[in-house]
Structures are given as structure tokens and as C-alpha cells.
Structure 1
Amino acid sequence: MENIQHLNERRLADAWAELQAQANNGTPLQADAYRLAFADPEFLLRRETRGLRFQLEMLKPDLAQQALGIENTIVVFGSARFRETSEAQAMLDQAQAAGDAQAIDRAKKLLRNAPYYDQAREFARTVARYSARCEQAGMPEDRLFICTGGGPGIMEAANRGAFEAGARSIGLNVTLPHEQEPNPFISPELAFRFRYFALRKMHFLLRARALVAFPGGYGTLDELFEVLTLVQTGKMARIPIVLVGREFWRRAVDFDYLVEEGFISAQDVRLFTCVDAAEEIVAVLEAFYGGKPPAPEGAQE
């Protein structure tokens, strides 16, 4: 196997050398029939080659995670707008000093919701510490890695908690009209950017052993209901789905009403669990898995 890997690296080096040689010998940069197909961005960005771009967005993060032995992830969703408590308090102090009523109102809301940032950060630290114990016990296959959308807010908090505990974590960023930068706590080798939401969502779930959804907006709701639909319809094996913030979820989505009107069945509300604290998230996961993450798909028990 080692020799095969070296052979593959050699082929990659040759292709890269050929591409560099073409650039150095004056091959024109504009669209040109003579340009190598894989080095022709105008060709790769045509509508007809969209399928190739889908495949590339599927392969690149998958191969990178395989190479690092990442098999189990816990996906954390939530608002990109939340701030940690100290930052929210500083914003409120500044707004009050300036006498800006609108800024004061915004800062008060940020401060009210700041505990969610702190909970996501603490939960990720707990996951990282669990994975470190797995590593020390000679059970690397049981490690769990935090995976987020790679942006600010709750995503930053979760990546930050893992980073502070010395663990790798994953960020799946997406290209948006107003460019979203990856937060600085993602492991650089696991910071991926996507053009297509569909491929990004697929990568969220390929290795997911649990989903933890904090309060959020359209993006969070979209991602949550995608997972609920896949589990409900049997397109995805059941995983623990934890909604953090009972009051938020009670007001944001009236699941009881959906049951009463027959839009969903009573058993569908058992697909998720609502909690209020980081320790409760851990308890739900431990109850589901008996303290151990599931075997990777296809592995023998």
C-alpha cells in the first residue's frame, strides 16, 4: 500500500510540473483550445461541466478527511450572529455610553443570547476531551470531531472549544454574495469552501454521528429540517438530534400543532430531544450510544 501511495503522489507531481511548465513557457492565460482541460478555468466553469464541479466538491473534503482518519463527527448548527458574553457586554457598554437606543437594543439581545455561544464552546471542549481519552486508550476509531458551517457565532464557538482543547475541528464554509470568512479556530487542513449548498449539506451528514442545533435563522432551520426529513423518510440512519434552547424551539416551531393537525405523526417528535445546557447534550448522546460513538458505516460490530 505504501508503494501505491508513492506512485499516486508521483503522478500528481508530474501533472503539476507539466502545468507549471506550460505557464513558464508562455502558454497564453486566456481561454485557449491548446490549454490542458483541467487547467482551463473557463472550461471548468461552463454550465455543461457542472457535474464535474459537483464531483470535485464531493471528493476534495472527503479525501482530506479520510487521510486524517476522521470517521465520526458531531455537527453543530446555530446562528452566525451570536457573540460570547464578554463581547456582548462590551458592545452594550459602548452603546449605552453613546446613548444609541437602537445599538442598545441590539446589544441587549446579543447579551441575552450569549449563553448559547458559551454552551457551544463548552460542549465542543467536552467532545475534544472525550476524543483525547479515546486516543490515549488506543481507540482512535471512537474519536469524535466537531464539524460546523465554518462561520462566526455558534459555529465559531464550537470550533473554538475544540481548538482550546487541542483538537482538530472541521469547517464547511460556503461562498455567499456577502463573503463569509472562515472563523480562525478551524483546523487549517480541515477548512473547506463550497460553491454548492447541496454538496455542503451532504458533507455535513456523511460522517455525522449526532446533530446539535442551537437557535438560529433560515440557515439553521433549513439544515435542521433537511436532517429531520432524511431520518423521517429512512434515507438516513437515525442519529441523536439535539435542539438546544427549549423556549426558542417551542416558539420558533410549534411541533405540537403539526401533530394536532396531522402534518406529522406523534412519533416524528421523538426524532429529536430539546435541552437547555451543554451537560444535557452530552447526556443525550451518551444515552443514545451508551457512552460510545457508533461504528463507521460498513464496519463490523
Structure 2
Amino acid sequence: MNDREDLDRLRERIMQSPAYQLAHEDPAFLTHDDLRPLRLQMEFLKPEHALREQGIASTVVVFGSARIPAPEQAVGCGSPADTAAASRPRPHRHAHLYDEARRFARIVSTRFQQQGRRDFVIMTGGGPGIMEAANRGAFEAGARSIGLNITLPHEQAPNPYLTPELAFRFHYFALRKMHFLLRAKALVAFPGGYGTLDELFEVLTLVQTGKMPRIPIVLVGRAFWQRAVDFQYLADEGFISAQDTALFTLADRAEEIVSALTAFYQGRPPGTDAAPS
């Protein structure tokens, strides 16, 4: 046991032991149930520090399905009314909205990210489909954009148009939702499934209940939204009030979305506080 090599081996075993690891470098320790509050705090703080460092003053959040492809990937999809479109997978029938999301993001990014200004920065879930379209529009404008990706059973890879310094990955949906809204000055929701509906109704609930100031909420794709959610029926049945149906605007084209945002902020500076309490 006095042999120098034996002592070195013993020391090496000690240094390789999980117990000897620094606490913040020990993955097994950090995943303990009673450390969940710490993980939640870190997941809030990491993106927050980066967004501050990058000078992100305000955002426009774009929600929408990951399943809607770019038109060039949906051969023959055309418009929703086309005969050819009827034979395509249903999300492909909405492929024209990929271009609308892309054009909208390009317009907004060009307008508000000139001369170092970082207002109304496009923020998405960072994945494919409509999210990719919005990040792509900002990318083509030479502007920054943000992606809040999340780990899922079927891993969702980030789309390639995100600004690398503003591409984040989350474990907790709750923290991801919080970051969607902390700097949000507008929400633009394209057609989507459970995830899109969940995110949209969370914002509508926060605005309806006064937990966050009102922001423009634009639902893109009139035909989809009028069938997917019968808001007027909810009002007629008394489950929401008549004024709740005025919390959002319907649109079909990028220019209509821009007009809705412009009308809302007419005489109201972009810096108006719209963070949830």
C-alpha cells in the first residue's frame, strides 16, 4: 500500500468518484427531485441573461404548426381551394401560410432592426414549419431572431435560420411559456395543433384576466380559425363575454398582420409594458 503507484490509483479513484465532483458539474445530483426549484431558476436565468446581453428590447411571438411545409416542399399544394391540394396531406394545404409567416417576419424585422435597434424581434418555438418560416424571414432581412426549442420524446431540432446566440433549449414548458411573453409586444398565431392552441389560449387567458396588459393578437388563416374554434358560440353560450371576442384579430396575409399591429400601436410606443405579472 506504500507503493507510489498504488497510492496514485487510490487517489484517482477518489477524484473520479461522483461524490468528489463539484455540485454544479454533477448531472446526477442536479436531476434530484428536490433540486427542481434550482433547475427552474437556471432555466429562467440562462435565456434571460443572453437576451439582456443581446439587447433584445421587445419581441413579436409567432406560433404555428411544425407540420406546415414550405411551398417548395409541398408540390402541387397550391391554394386551399385547388383540386390538387385536396389530395395532399392536410397540413400541406396550408403551405401558402409558410410564405405569409416568412414575409411578415421579413417586413417586421426590416422595419425594427435597423441601425442596431432590436425591437419587435421575431421569436418562435425554434422548430420547423411555421416557426422556421418566421425565423427564415428575419434571417433573409439580415436581422436577428429567437428560438425557444424544447426537448421532446421525438427530438425537435432547431431550424437553421435562428441566430445562434439566441437559440435556446428548454426542459420545462412553463419556463418556455414565460419567456415567450416577458418581452412580447404582439402575438401572431398561425394554424396548429395542441401546442399552438395551448400557447394561444394561455395568452388569451392572461390578457382576459388582467395578468398581463393587452397586446395585439392576430390569428392568421381565417378559414382555419373560424372552424377550429367557434368563439362566437362561446360568447353566445355565456362562457366568455362579448368583449372577449375583440381580444384578437383575424388575418390572411402578411400585410394584414402588419396593419393590425400598426393600428394597435398607433400613438402607443413599442416600449409599452406588456410583460405578464
Taking structure 2 as the reference length, the TM-score comes to 0.87
Paired residues of 2:110 and 2:141 also in contact (CA < 8 A): yes
Paired residues of 2:213 and 2:273 also in contact (CA < 8 A): no
The answer to whether 1:226 aligns with 2:212 is no
Equivalents in 2 of 1:127, 1:238: separation in Å? 20
Between stretches 160-169 and 35-44, larger displacement belongs to: 35-44
Paired residues of 1:88 and 1:110 also in contact (CA < 8 A): no
Equivalents in 1 of 2:75, 2:221: separation in Å? 21
Q: Could you tell me which residue of structure 2 aligns to residue 179 of structure 1?
A: 155
Equivalents in 2 of 1:281, 1:291: separation in Å? 18
Paired residues of 1:209 and 1:293 also in contact (CA < 8 A): no
SS at match of 2:199: helix
Equivalents in 2 of 1:277, 1:265: separation in Å? 28
Q: Could you tell me which residue of structure 2 aligns to residue 14 of structure 1?
A: none
Q: Could you tell me which residue of structure 2 aligns to residue 82 of structure 1?
A: 68
| CA displacement 1:176-231 (0-9 Å, x = unmatched) | 00000000000111110000000000000001000000000000000000000000
Paired residues of 1:121 and 1:160 also in contact (CA < 8 A): yes
Are the structure 2 counterparts of residues 31 and 156 from structure 1 closer, same or farther at C-alpha, using a change threshold of 3 Å?
A: same
Q: Could you tell me which residue of structure 1 aligns to residue 232 of structure 2?
A: 256
Match of 1:64 among 46, 50, 57: 50
Question: Which residue identity lines up with residue 31 of structure 1 in the other structure?
Answer: P
Equivalents in 2 of 1:110, 1:81: separation in Å? 6
Q: CA RMSD in A?
A: 2.1
Of all paired residues, the percent bearing the same amino acid is: 63
Q: Could you tell me which residue of structure 2 aligns to residue 101 of structure 1?
A: none
Q: Could you tell me which residue of structure 1 aligns to residue 166 of structure 2?
A: 190
Match of 2:22 among 27, 36, 43: 36
Greater helix share, structure number: 1
Are the structure 2 counterparts of residues 206 and 29 from structure 1 closer, same or farther at C-alpha, using a change threshold of 3 Å?
A: farther
Q: Could you tell me which residue of structure 2 aligns to residue 100 of structure 1?
A: none
Q: Could you tell me which residue of structure 2 aligns to residue 283 of structure 1?
A: 259
Question: Which residue identity lines up with residue 137 of structure 2 in the other structure?
Answer: G
Equivalents in 2 of 1:120, 1:171: separation in Å? 15
Equivalents in 2 of 1:291, 1:84: separation in Å? 36
Equivalents in 1 of 2:100, 2:196: separation in Å? 17
Q: Could you tell me which residue of structure 2 aligns to residue 207 of structure 1?
A: 183
After TM superposition, give the deviation of residue 297 of structure 1 in Å.
3.6
The answer to whether 1:45 aligns with 2:31 is yes
Are the structure 2 counterparts of residues 197 and 108 from structure 1 closer, same or farther at C-alpha, using a change threshold of 3 Å?
A: closer
Gaps of 5+ in 2: 1-11, 79-84
Paired residues of 2:63 and 2:188 also in contact (CA < 8 A): yes
- What is the aligned length? 257
Are the structure 2 counterparts of residues 31 and 126 from structure 1 closer, same or farther at C-alpha, using a change threshold of 3 Å?
A: same
| CA displacement 1:78-123 (0-9 Å, x = unmatched) | 010011112101799xxxxxxxxxxx96635344211110000000
Taking structure 1 as the reference length, the TM-score comes to 0.81
| CA displacement 1:220-250 (0-9 Å, x = unmatched) | 0000000000000000111000000111111
Q: Could you tell me which residue of structure 2 aligns to residue 3 of structure 1?
A: none
